[in-house]
Each structure stands twice: as C-alpha cells, then as structure tokens.
Amino acid sequence: MIYRSKAPLRIGLAGGGTDVSPYSDQYGGAILNATISLFAYANIEPLQEKTIIIQALDRKEEEHYNWAPSLPINGKLDLLKGVYNRIYKDFGLPNTGFRLSTFVDAPAGSGLGTSSTLVVAIIGAFVEMLKLPLGDYDIAHYAYQIERQDLKLTGGKQDQYAAMFGGVNYMEFYADDKVIVNPLRIRSQYLHELENNLVLYFTATSRESAHIINEQVKNVTDKNTKSIEAMNQLKEQARMMKEALLKGQLDKFGEILDFGFQQKRQMAANISNSRIEEIYEAAKKAGATGGKISGAGGGGFMIFYCPGNTHHAVVDKLKTFGGEVRNYTFTKYGLTTWCV
C-alpha cells in the first residue's frame, strides 16, 4: 500500500505579512489568497525492513535511518523529519520502516508558501495512513505548530490554511492563533478574467525569508509606527481587494496591487531591491497596472495584473530579465489524500 497526498501552493493577493505574530495578535490580520495548480506532493510506502528513508525528490536529497521514534533535526530534510517526530509523539506509528518521499512544483524560498504546503501534504499522507480524525482547521493548525513551535521556523499562518482549504479565501488572524477562513464564491467569469490577466513570474532567484520576517517582527515589537501603519494599510488592501473581486471590479485590481506594493516596502528592509524595482517598473511600462512580490519579499515569484490585451507585451518584457513566466490555473480544492 502507498499513501499519497497533494496540496496546492498559493498566490498571496493582498494583506501579506499581517498574518505574522505579534502584529496579528495585537492588531488582527487579514489576507486574500488563492491556490493555484502548482502542488506539494507526499508519498509514504511501508517497508519490510526497520529502516526509515526520507527523500526530497525535487532537490535530490535523501537520508537513511535505522527505525527510531524520533529523527534528528540537523538541517537536512527537517520538515519531513519534524512531521514524523510530531506524528509519532502524538499518535504513535507501527514499529516498522517506511519510505517518505516528497516533491514540490516550485523551489523553496520562492514565495508561494512551499514549506508550509509541503508540511500540510506530509501530514495528509500520515492522516491517510493512520486514519486520523483531524478536520481541516486541525491539520492546518497542526502544520503551523510543527513549523513555528517544534522546528522554530519564522513565518506567518496563511500558507497552512490556504494549502488545507484551497480556492479563493479571505482569512482573518487574531490572538491565540485564532484563524477564520472565509471561502469566497467568485463568479466564474471573474476568475477566468483574473487568471487571464494575472501573470506569475519567477525572478530566477530564491531568498531566505526568515531575516526579512524577523525584522518585520522586530518593527512591531519596537512599535515602529511606519512599519505598523504599512501593515494596517495592507490589511485594508485585503478588504478592498475582496470587495473588488466579489463585485467583478477587476479594473481596480492593478491599482490595489500597486497600492500594496508601495506599502509593503515600508514593513522591513530588503523586501524590495534594485532588481525587483527594475522588473516592476518595466512591467508597468509594458502595460501592467500593478503587481506585487509574492511571500516575504526579496526575490522568488512576482505577480502582475495586465488588463485588456497587455498580457503578452508584459510577458515579452519580463522574459528579457532572464526569469520564467509560469502557467497556472486557479484550483478549487485544498489537501487531497488517497491510497493505492
């Protein structure tokens, strides 16, 4: 028997960064995001021998261990080992070996929530294998705990819930890790138009988001009014974009994205840089009305809203920077598990 799962990556459309504590605890956060047809996959194959094999197939990394109730967290495939350690601690596992293999359709550090989505997918494979009675909110919060508490990884809360629920969601974040996911019922023609006009561009760089998020956290802790006001404006941006999308006012989309891009620069240093600024301005000159950096910033993916028939002109201009435009569709569903 092989136990499989997949969970979708996401595009953050508005409100990015307001899901990070302590801002979300003190002021409340709000984010609008949508899952896309890029996925994180996990497979668990039980073995006869008492050996644990973990593999990140996309990164060509592999570790072998004699069976043990806990695997060492040492900087090598820690996401995979962290999930195993927590699952064994909380639910137990058969004292037999297994092969855990994963694959992600986008590079780590690219700003599409790859790490958190991968954790959700791995948990999903174990849930399928053990038939664990965990609901959608349970799995998303469990993934958050493993990353933020067990593995001490810096970051927010949106990615785990996007991967779990799928679709277009307006999410609210409060103190005590309270999260409310509001699925949005968007008319199909609005989504088709958004999909047609929204260009997803990989800058061919990845970044370590931790230092950017750590500075953002410090700015809130230190009561940096400029940074906090930027986050307040980004929260308002999420509300504005939700309303525009529900009403089909897509002509406002680029303007709202551009507003958020200006605000996000104020949250922390290194969110933008000279290369990102150059790409952004070139895309606007080619016809885009706005865009954003996906995730914490500093590199990875960017998105641009290209109204009318400007899509192809913007794509042609972006290709001159050596990156890659990625095709995608929006997805309706989150984590999916099955066995064969």
- Do residues 220 and 228 lie in contact, with contact meaning Cβ atoms separated by under 8 Å? yes
Look at the block and give the residue holding tokens 């459309």: 13
Report the distance separating Cα 130 and Cα 201, nearest Å.
39
**R_g (Cα) of the chain, nearest Å:** 20
Taking the C-alpha atoms of residue 261 and residue 60, their distance in angstroms, rounded to an integer, is 35
Q: Give the Cβ contact number of residue 64 at 10 Å.
A: 11
Annotated catalytic, 159?
yes
Hey, how many other C-beta atoms are within 10 angstroms of the C-beta on 189?
10
Letter for the amino acid at 271? Answer: I
As a residue count, the chain comes to: 340
> Which entry of 19, 78, 105, 159 is annotated as an active-site residue?
159
Backbone angles phi, psi at 134, to 5 degrees: -115, 130
At residue 245's C-alpha, the angle toward residues 277 and 260, to 5°, is: 25
> In 3D, which of 119, 126, 127, 132 has the Cα closest to residue 44?
126
Instruction: Kindly write down the DSSP assignment for every residue of 252-295, as one continuous string.
Output: GHHHHHHHHHHHHTTTSTTSS-HHHHHHHHHHHHHT--EEEE-T
Which residues are known to be catalytic?
Answer: 159
